[in-house]
């Protein structure tokens, strides 16, 4: 049986699926109608479609309307929300902005198949990206927003004496990672449940933190970067691999792409400076940052 919220993929003539890692889902459509109330919205959606009078009444019910953004209902930052501003959420955003950039919606577990798609190597040249990461056999690496572990386990193969922390905040992804680790009989990857503010890693425990198409989705980017900084060893660095926002031809939704100027600005505000910039990947930036 196909799940109700299965990803819908747009097709381009002769080109197959758009390589867009946040495609519309039925659940997202329901949330657009009912302000993000999930399964309750699903029930109301079908009820309203069958009863026009209910649908009309819904638009005049006091309280948050069907197209109003509900902000401030999630976890609160330990340091308060003074760093952030709020607006009506755009199609793919959460209505929360950091340094002029609206934060993008997080990919759910329903996107696992897209992360593991066969075409990913051809589209993104992930093999080359991993080869270009400077690693020693005993390096400790944190894959922040690891998802299915696509990068985590491939990096682990290069660290026979090292450690990879596969960090995610979603319970479904944590289960996926643990199952994959057991299936592969892996001894290098350690699965870690993070929070919106922190990867929950010990201080001075990692040489490198990587975020692959993740940074733009961080709900609390400043707090997360500050926490990562504490986890980094003195010469530790952060690697961001992000879809290039400067190129409109890249078929990724706007909020899931970032520009070099914006990334440098945000990273510098958190105490990181650009150490190395590479543009060898087909559609992504490869940016290495160090502590200032």
Confidence of residue 51 (pLDDT cuts 50, 70, 90): low
Instruction: Report CA Rg, the chain.
Output: 20
Q: Is residue 146 part of a domain?
A: yes
64 and 137 assigned to the same domain = no
pTM reported for the whole predicted model:
0.76
Q: Answer whether 21's CB lies under 8 Å from 256's CB.
A: yes
Confidence of residue 26 (pLDDT cuts 50, 70, 90): very low
24 and 129 assigned to the same domain = no
286 and 152 assigned to the same domain = yes
Domain boundary among 68, 103, 124: 68
Return the percentage of the chain with pLDDT > 90, whole number. Answer: 70
Domain boundary among 68, 88, 122: 68
Whether residue 133 is predicted with pLDDT greater than 90 in this model: the reply is yes
Length of the chain: 292
244 and 186 assigned to the same domain = yes
Whether residue 59 is predicted with pLDDT greater than 90 in this model: the reply is no
Q: Is residue 103 part of a domain?
A: no
**Residue ranges making up the domain that contains 199:** 113-291
131 and 266 assigned to the same domain = yes
Q: Is residue 105 part of a domain?
A: no
**Domains contained in the chain, number:** 2
254 and 138 assigned to the same domain = yes
Q: Is residue 108 part of a domain?
A: no
Q: What is the pLDDT of residue 52?
A: 54
Higher per-residue confidence, 123 vs 57: 123
133 and 278 assigned to the same domain = yes
287 and 175 assigned to the same domain = yes
Q: What are phi and psi of 178, to 5 degrees?
A: -65, -40
Burial of 12 (0-12, 13-18, 19+ CB in 10 A): exposed
Whether residue 243 is predicted with pLDDT greater than 70 in this model: the reply is yes
148 and 223 assigned to the same domain = yes
Q: Is residue 89 part of a domain?
A: no
Quote the CA–CA distance of 169 and 172 in Å, as a whole number.
Answer: 9
Q: State the CATH number of the domain containing residue 260.
A: 3.40.50.150
240 and 136 assigned to the same domain = yes
Burial of 229 (0-12, 13-18, 19+ CB in 10 A): middle
Query: 232-243 and 272-278: which strand pairing?
Result: unpaired
132 and 238 assigned to the same domain = yes
């Amino acid at each position: 049986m196909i799940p109700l919220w299965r990803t819908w993929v747009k097709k381009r003539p002769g080109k197959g699926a758009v390589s867009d890692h946040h495609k519309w889902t039925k659940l997202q459509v329901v949330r657009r109608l009912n302000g993000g109330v999930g399964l309750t919205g699903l029930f109301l959606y079908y009820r309203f479609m069958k009863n026009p009078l209910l649908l009309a009444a819904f638009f005049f019910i006091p309280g948050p309307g069907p197209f109003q953004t509900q902000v401030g209902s999630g976890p609160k930052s330990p340091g308060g929300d003074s760093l952030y501003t709020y607006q009506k959420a755009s199609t793919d955003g959460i209505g929360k902005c950091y340094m002029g950039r609206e934060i993008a919606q997080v990919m759910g577990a329903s996107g696992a198949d897209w992360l593991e798609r066969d075409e990913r190597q051809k589209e993104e040249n992930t093999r080359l990206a991993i080869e270009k990461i400077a690693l020693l056999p005993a390096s400790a690496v944190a894959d922040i927003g690891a998802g299915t572990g696509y990068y985590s386990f491939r990096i682990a193969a290069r660290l026979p004496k090292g450690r990879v922390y596969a960090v995610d905040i979603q319970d479904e992804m944590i289960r996926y990672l643990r199952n994959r680790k057991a299936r592969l009989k892996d001894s290098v990857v350690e699965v870690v449940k993070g929070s919106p503010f922190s990867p929950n890693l010990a201080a001075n425990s990692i040489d490198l933190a990587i975020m692959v198409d993740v940074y733009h989705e961080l709900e609390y980017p400043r707090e997360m970067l500050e926490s990562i900084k504490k986890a980094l060893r003195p010469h530790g660095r952060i690697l961001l691999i992000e879809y290039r926002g400067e190129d409109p031809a890249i078929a990724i939704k706007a909020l899931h792409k970032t520009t070099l100027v914006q990334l440098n600005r945000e990273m510098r505000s958190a105490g990181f400076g650009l150490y190395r910039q590479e543009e060898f990947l087909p559609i992504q930036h490869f940016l290495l940052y160090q502590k200032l």
